[in-house]
Amino acid sequence: MSNDDAAAPAAALQAAGGPGAVPVNGVPAASGEDAGSDGWPLFEVFVRSRRGLSHNHVGSLHAADAEMALHSARDVYTRRQEGVSIWVVPSTALTASSPDEKDAFFEPAADKIYRHPTFYNVPGGVQM
Amino acid sequence: MYGASVGEGDIGRGDLDENPGEQGRFDALVASESRIEPRDWMPEAYRKTLIRQIAQHAHSEVIGMQPEGNWITRAPSLRRKAILMAKVQDEAGHGLYLYSAAETLGISRDEMMDLLHQGKHKYSSIFNYPTLTWADMGAIGWLVDGAAIVNQVPLCRCSYGPYARAMIRVCKEESFHQRQGYENLYVLSHGTPLQKAMAQDAVNRWWWPSLMMFGPSDSDSPHSAQSMTWKIKRHSNDDLRQKFVDMCVNQVEVLELTLPDPDLRWNTERGHYDFGAINWEEFHAVIRGDGPCNKERLAHRVAAHENGRWAREAAAAYAAKQAARKETAA
């Protein structure tokens, strides 16, 4: 719950920022003390809605293991035929860019406008 | 289904100057209708407000399974039973989407559950009313889920990304909930005189609690303004309540039933229906814990959690055993 400097760097290494992307480090709550659901690891869920499309992040859930995560993901995220394929990934396995380094990380692309077709002048009347 | 904006709680303003540069960026993102994402800097009061609101919303979905679960075994046909089971399962799903959205703010699901079980977190007051007859399944779908939709649609544009995304899923699923309820009531109100009387009785009992779902009047809702500034909230409680009343007047006519409010009449000047005074004493009493079913609902929730402990332990033990076997084999 804290967003102070101590908690931020650890959290920054994890989670993709989607609906269930959780900063699992620096979370003050107890975990694993009893067999509560949070004693179970967190999984991020990705669903391919139909053939020809890529898997998209839809949320997250807690499960004892990957197999259980897959079954729970089917029940929680595809009750209305929203998917033909599901991936579950332990949230701790994700590496994400940090919002803190947003400028340094993404800005180098901003001044390379010649990478876009609109940069170029084409004589009138030419069909392209 | 949805928890009304009850007990929005204390939100301190003391942190506004905690980080002026980040605060500026946060304010600009909110002002530009962009979204705040989990790992962005956010004011501590914004985080706390969201945790409280999303957790309360999640708890409402979970507690909300009880009044309807009460009728699953007694649904009058296989069709109605299948519908009711699907609806109750959806409510569980909605609770899970919302818990996972709240978890992105740095609170664990176990912690939220504990707070609910200890009575320190609230849920919507509507679920503390009993479901006495089968017609209540219709009235809940039509009125309670109807009010929930009016409340929830603006939340799809909430400034906090994970909450907004969860609400989009919830709203997609919620419209079936309202329609099945309306259909249920329509069948009853066009059935035998006894069935029609049962439908009217259910509407009479659920109407006022449904209006209370929108939360206290604007003049009595001190934190609304801050939530509007943060774009967590898009419309005032009273505006949403008015919208709901205007919708229901037409819908109740088709049902050939009436709403239990002698003061309900069209106001040409305002372009809206006027309606009678809400019994806020009842509202606050139910929130305080003195509603008809508060103790029963919470006791049932705690018992379900305790009785499920062996299953959670078994799943954890099985996972540990499988992992150990894999390690030995490798």
**Cα–Cα dist B40/B38, whole Å:** 6
Pairwise CB contact (< 8 Å): B106 & A79: no
At residue B11, the pLDDT reads: 43
Q: Where are the alpha helices (DSSP H) in chain B?
A: 20-31, 44-63, 65-69, 78-103, 109-117, 135-139, 145-152, 161-189, 193-212, 224-229, 237-255, 280-285, 294-307, 309-329
**Cα–Cα dist B2/B153, whole Å:** 11
**Cα–Cα dist B75/B67, whole Å:** 13
At residue B197, the pLDDT reads: 98
**Cα–Cα dist B139/B257, whole Å:** 12
At residue B6, the pLDDT reads: 41
Collapsing DSSP to helix, strand or coil, B155 comes out as helix
At residue B7, the pLDDT reads: 40
Instruction: Give me the mean pLDDT over the A50-75 stretch.
Output: 95
Q: Which of B44, B108, B173 sits opposite A3 (nearest CB)?
A: B44
**Cα–Cα dist B60/B98, whole Å:** 10
More confidently predicted of B13 and A71: A71
Pairwise CB contact (< 8 Å): B106 & A59: no
CA distance A33 to chain B (A): 11
Sign of torsion, CA A56 A57 A61 A67? positive
Domain boundaries, chain A: 3-98
At residue B83, the pLDDT reads: 97
At residue B221, the pLDDT reads: 85
Does the pLDDT value for residue A73 go beyond 90? yes
What would the pLDDT profile of B283-329 be if each residue is shown by its tens digit?
A: 999 999 999 999 999 999 999 999 999 999 999 999 999 999 999 98
What would the pLDDT profile of A103-116 be if each residue is shown by its tens digit?
A: 778 877 778 889 88
Q: Which of A23, A36, A98 sits opposite B312 (nearest CB)?
A: A36
Does the pLDDT value for residue A102 go beyond 90? no
Tell me the whole-structure pTM to 2 decimals: 0.86
Strand A55-62 with A85-90, pairing: unpaired
Size of interface A-B (CB pairs under 8 A): 123
Chain A residue nearest residue B310, CA to CA: A35
What would the pLDDT profile of B90-118 be if each residue is shown by its tens digit?
A: 999 999 999 999 999 999 999 999 999 99
**Cα–Cα dist B226/B12, whole Å:** 11
Whether residue B51 lies within 8 A of chain A, CB to CB, comes out as: yes
User: Predicted ipTM?
Assistant: 0.85
Whether residue B15 lies within 8 A of chain A, CB to CB, comes out as: no
CATH code of the domain occupying A3-98? 3.10.20.520
What would the pLDDT profile of A18-31 be if each residue is shown by its tens digit?
A: 444 444 444 433 33
Whether residue A21 lies within 8 A of chain B, CB to CB, comes out as: yes
Query: Looking up tokens 């869920």, which residue turns up?
Result: A45
Chain A residue nearest residue B40, CA to CA: A99
Pairwise CB contact (< 8 Å): B322 & A30: no
CA distance A96 to chain B (A): 10
The list of chain B residues with pLDDT below 70 reads: 1-19
Does the pLDDT value for residue A16 go beyond 80? no
